[in-house]
Structure 1
Amino acid sequence: MRSPALYRFAILIVFVLAGQQLAAQSPFLEKMRTLCGNSYGGRVVFPEGGADPFSGQALSIHVTSCKAREIRIPFHVGADRSRTWVLTQLPEGLQLKHDHRHEDGTPDEITMYGGMANAAGTPWVQYFPADAHTAALIPAAATNEWSLQLSQDGKTLSYILKRDGALRFRADFDLTTTLH
């Protein structure tokens, strides 16, 4: 007879944890929404010394499309405008996807990878472990974890990629100066 009570207790714990997770995701999304309509310049922070193909190129993000449940952030690397980060508030939580397009607007073969925010997020940072679609599309990225982090002083947005728990890439965007 204890199993129904244990089952109800487990369901309660799941709902409490899900509520806490969503409670951190909503304020994060609202903070991101305050960037809507603006563009910001950035730089590669890691790896240092030109070890990344993005190093030495002009980086910029353009928070151009903000709908009720979705924020689209085109990420430009030099003249390459093929990347867009898509943050979507779904019933089960916050999702980050990477939308890659060709110049003519058609989807790249490798596109819409990413994942759902996990429970470790806060109103200032959200972590997105690779989902099953990503693992199938890009097997080497199965252990990826992307994060978006807003500094508490509101001056920086960081985009961070870890693989197998090790830092692989970090770019910081200066939110104090908008690009024209």
Structure 2
Amino acid sequence: MNHRTAALAALAPSALALLAGCAHSPDGPALPPSQEAFWQALSSHCGSAYSGALVSADARDADLAGKAMVAHWAECSDTRVAVAFHIASDEEPGGWDRSRTWVVTRTPDGLRLKHDHRHADGSEDAVTQYGGDTLSAGTAKVQDFPVDAFSIALFEREGLSASLTNVWRVEADPAGSPGARFAYQLTRRNDPTRLFRVEFDATRTVAAPPRAWGW
């Protein structure tokens, strides 16, 4: 049994049924077994949307506390999964901030996370396409993405010195598994007090929201 077959076998049967349109091509870049299992778990949610909330208590994120949030698997391909992150907002048209999309890509060296930030007219924000690549194999449920050189240069240019040691984390349980959850987290290597974390209940889908801005 190769590592891809082993990873698929570990998924719940209900999750396997969802993978038909999301599994990667056999010709795509090979991943370590743990990253392959993570990719399959992430991809198993293709097309779904889930409600969530801020679960961390950092005072720097107080404006997001208690706000409704939705994660929507808006696009899936053999090598890319785009999850739109929608946040309820009284300041935006329609009552929602639809500016953020998390994009996870398979690369020859592992997995990559990028943040696609747009304005309501679809144009790119000055701070966009930042993120990082995996430096370790991670686990079947958790992958960490330390800030990459492109993002460091972007943050320096935009005066965002606090972000120069960002580490983003994505957690995904296979669809259909008991207590399935999806989570996104930010920490900083030079600031042990920094924690931003949102969690989504992946056991129950909600209606898919409108497309994220620019998508």
Q: For the residues of structure 2 that align with 1:159 and 1:146, how far apart are their CA atoms?
A: 7
Structure 1 stretches of at least 4 aligned residues deviating more than 6 Å after TM superposition: none
1:105-120 alignment runs, 5 A limit: 105-119=122-136
Equivalent residue of 2:200, what SS?
A: strand
| 1:175 and 2:202 aligned | yes
Comparing both chains, which one has the higher relative contact order based on Cα–Cα distances under 8 Å and sequence gaps of 6 or more?
2
Counterpart secondary structure, 1:87: strand
Q: Which residue of 2 aligns with 1:67?
A: 77
User: What TM-score, normalized by structure 1, do the two folds share?
Assistant: 0.82
5+ residue gaps in structure 1? Answer: 1-19
Q: Select the residue among 152, 163, 171 that pairs with 2:188.
A: 163
TM-score (norm 2): 0.70
Query: Percent identity of the aligned residues?
Result: 39
Other structure's SS at 2:203 match = strand
Q: Distance in 1 between matches of 2:126 and 2:58?
A: 29
Cα distance in 2 for partners of 1:100, 1:50 equals: 20
Structure 1 residue 142 and structure 2 residue 164: aligned? Answer: yes
- Number of matched residues? 162
Could you say which structure has the higher strand fraction?
1
Q: Please list, as runs of the form range in 1=range in 2, the aligned pairs for 1:64-143 lying within 5 A after superposition.
A: 64-78=74-88, 79-119=96-136, 121-138=138-155, 139-143=161-165
2: CA distance between counterparts of 1:137 and 1:50?
21
Question: Residues of 1 paired with 2:131 and 2:58: CA distance?
Answer: 24
The 8 Å contact of residues 21 and 118 in structure 1, kept in 2 or not, is answered as no
Alpha-carbon distance between aligned partners in 1 of 2:121 and 2:201, rounded to the nearest angstrom: 30
SS in 2 for 1:172: strand
Give the whole-Å Cα distance in 2 for the aligned partners of 1:50 and 1:96.
23
Q: Does 1:32 align with 2:42?
A: yes
Structure showing greater Rg: 1
Report the Cα distance in structure 2 between the residues aligned to 1:120 and 1:23, rounded to whole angstroms.
Answer: 8
3-state secondary structure, aligned to 1:161? strand
Q: Which moved more, 1:134-143 or 1:146-155?
A: 146-155
Deviations along 1:79-102, whole A, 9 cap, x unmatched? 000000000001111000000011
Q: Does the 8 Å contact 1:118/1:126 carry over to 2?
A: no
Of residues 158-167 and 126-135 in structure 1, the stretch that sits farther from structure 2 once superposed is 158-167
Cα distance in 2 for residues equivalent to 1:154 and 1:92: 31
Give the CA deviation at 1:48: 6.3
Runs of 5+ unmatched residues, structure 2: 1-29, 89-95, 156-160, 208-215
Per-residue CA deviations over 1:113-170 (Å, capped at 9, x if unaligned) read 1100121511110000000111111232111111011357452111111012634211
